[in-house]
Amino acid sequence: MSTLACGKVQKMGTSQFFGLMIGYSGLTAYQAAENTVANNVANVETDGYSRQYTQRKASDALRTYTSYGMQGTGVTVTGIEQYRNIYFDNKYWSNNSDVGRYETHELYMSRIEKYFEDSSSVNGFSTIYNNFFSGLEELAKDPGQTTTRTAFLGTAQTMTEYFRTMSANLQNEQMSINAEIKTTVERINTIGEEIASLNKQINLIELKGTSANELRDKRALLVDELSKIVDVEVSEVPVLNEADNNKPTGANRYIVKISNGNTLVNTYDYNTLELVGREPDEKRNQCDVDGLYDIRWKETLSPFSVLADNLSGTLKSLIELRDGNNNEALSGLTGDATTATGSGTPTIIGHAGDTSFSMYKTAKPGTDLEREIADLDIPESGSITIGGHQYYYSGFEVEQVLNSGVPATDADGNWLYVYKFNNLTHVDSSGNKQPGLRGDLMTEQPVYVGQNVDYQGIPYYMSQMNQWLREFAYRFDDMEKQGEDLNGDPMDISFFQYKASDGTLSQLNEDYSSYSFSTSTTSLANYYFLTAENFYVNQDIIKDPRLMSTTVTDGDINTDSSDIVDKLLEIKDNKSVMEYRGCTSAEFLTCILSDISLNTMSSKTFKTNSSNIQAAIRNQRDSVSSVDDDEEALDLVKFQNAYNLNAKVIQTMTEIYDRLILQTGV
């Protein structure tokens, strides 16, 4: 009988203890499942953790060579996997950049708004400006008294100090944002390096057939962080066996691209961004602080930009706030100062190596050079893009194109203005500056000075203040110079001054007929030099208030006349005397605050919208990958019951074997 039994065992291909092994496979499988649930519960509040599960399948069956054919062999754990949906990940990463952008906008715009809102307070612009004109009114009552003049000059000094303080506050914000850009770029580099390192660790583990779940979670968490800074695209492609292209090796190529397809990480390799501080002669806007950073790829030296319309993220927001000029960078076309007519005739106007060139710009008929120059925001030395190539200049000139004293026009009847830029240099492939143009220039190639950034950032608000100040100082000085001082002498000095870069206070010249700005030219001084940063009352008048004029020039000393003061009072509320963006001079703050309030409100609205969308996407993603207390509690009971059942199988099988072996003598 035992021989027969042995023969049957050989045909079945199983042992008498086969049932015991089946029970044991279930025991170990559900023990692994319980351990996985325990791990999930332990990480229920761990940031970035994805819920894991044991992947089980029926073990391969054995042929028994009997009428019933195949015999099941139990259960096999094929792996411990994680619940993760790449579709929801991509949606999350795409929206996360909007959250980062608008959160940053709101933070800094609220701070900028606070500076200008404080201008409505007792020490703000409205009060200071009203006090300035109240002082003028008192001066009109008794213009011959030095004490009255001194009191008015005190209000004038307070106003100039207000603008210098506002300028300092905005420039401090610009420096703060610049420092945050540096920190942000360094973090991008660190994330790229960490992802590349994780890719190597993950592939080493998964080549052995196991899943590196915790490392994958850590990598996804890094991509979450990166996606808030810049737009990201992530792709993971299996590496196939060279001998069999249909068989994966277990390793993957993991690629992370940022900002319109720039590769940051390619599996084990990563590219690095570097910061290049702008030199003093590389400014983009007139009142930019020194040392602002440009970003480029370290390996190729090619520029890195996040300003495209389809991009978002914290880094873009920071650059918009730091460099945003509302797309008001000076722009025009290449041309010749003597022949620019807008006809489009393709004549050569510059050759490779030339260190100067001319750009012509059109303006509506009736625009005067005074307004054309006062509205500029270009620095003494800065960057300029000609035909798609970046150059640097040092010195420029502006004049209206005239034909026999008549303004020249283009084909549409617009007046022409010519800007001549001098001392051109460019950066070669090695990162060194070289003099002159790269190649020949044709007419009507696009040119812009600095960079157009479609946001009302700090440069925009600085420019608005400067434009108002130039107009105000020019109108005030123009009226003052129509009169005489208390000595009976014509007033030939400006009431306001600007502080030059060398620290000296200089007179202002009201002549706007042409403008030449060059490091070698020191005799010309005009109101374009005047900014909120360097706005002062003439120190000679502060020392001797008698030098201020209050009456028109008539050759006689008349200390009781206030003709000039009466004209000056009209600057405040008379648009025909001074107009700023359709408002009176006193409504300057209203215009600025309306811009700031609109931007702040927009950033809050977009932040709320993007955050709400993000919350919805996060809920969808969490519904797949997060740990749920109730589900894990249910799984604990479910797997415990399965474990107990398999233990019962082993117990039952033990009793069977006991009877079979001990009581039947098999």
Tens-digit pLDDT profile for residues 73-127 = 899 999 999 999 999 999 999 999 999 999 999 999 998 888 876 655 556 778 8
Contact 139, 152 (CB under 8 A): yes
Q: Is the pLDDT of residue 9 over 80?
A: no
Over residues 618-628, the mean pLDDT reads 92
- Is residue 608 scored above 80 in pLDDT? yes
pLDDT for 127 equals: 85
Mean pLDDT of the chain: 86
* 3-state SS assignment for residue 257: strand
What pLDDT, on the 0 to 100 scale, is given for residue 665? 59
**Is 335:423 a contact under the CB 8 Å cutoff?**
no
Residue 518 has pLDDT above 50, yes or no: no
- The domain limits of the chain are 2-82+628-663, 330-450
Question: What's the pTM value of the predicted model, to 2 decimals?
Answer: 0.87
- pLDDT given at position 118: 63
Position 554 scores a pLDDT of: 65
Q: pLDDT digits over 14-35, tens only?
A: 566 788 889 999 999 999 999 9
Question: Residue 509 pLDDT more than 80?
Answer: no
- DSSP letter for 661, please: I
Q: Higher confidence at residue 221 or residue 554?
A: 221
DSSP assignment of 365-424 equals TT--HHHHHHT----SEEEEEETTEEEEEE-EEEEE-EETTEE-B-TTS-EEEEEEE-S-
pLDDT per position as a tens digit, 292-330: 999 999 999 889 999 999 999 999 999 999 999 999 899
Tell me the mean pLDDT in the region 608-632.
93
**Could you tell me which residues come within 8 angstroms of residue 154 by beta carbon, excluding any fewer than 6 positions away?**
135
User: What secondary structure does DSSP assign to 438-457, as a single string?
Assistant: SS-EETT-EEEES---SSB-
pLDDT at 556 over 60: yes
The pLDDT value recorded for residue 338 is 57
Q: Give me the pLDDT at residue 522, please.
A: 29
DSSP annotation of 587 reads: G
Burial of 301 (0-12, 13-18, 19+ CB in 10 A): middle
How sure is the predictor about 590, in pLDDT bands with cuts at 50, 70 and 90? confident
Question: Does the pLDDT of residue 544 top 90, yes or no?
Answer: yes
Cβ atoms of 450 and 325 within 8 Å: the answer is yes
Q: Which residue, chain included where needed, has tokens 């722009």?
A: 331
Please check whether residue 444 is in contact with residue 344, taking contact to mean a CB–CB distance below 8 angstroms: yes
pLDDT classification of 613: cutoffs 50, 70, 90: very high
524 — pLDDT class (breaks 50, 70, 90): very low
For residue 400, pLDDT beyond 90 = no
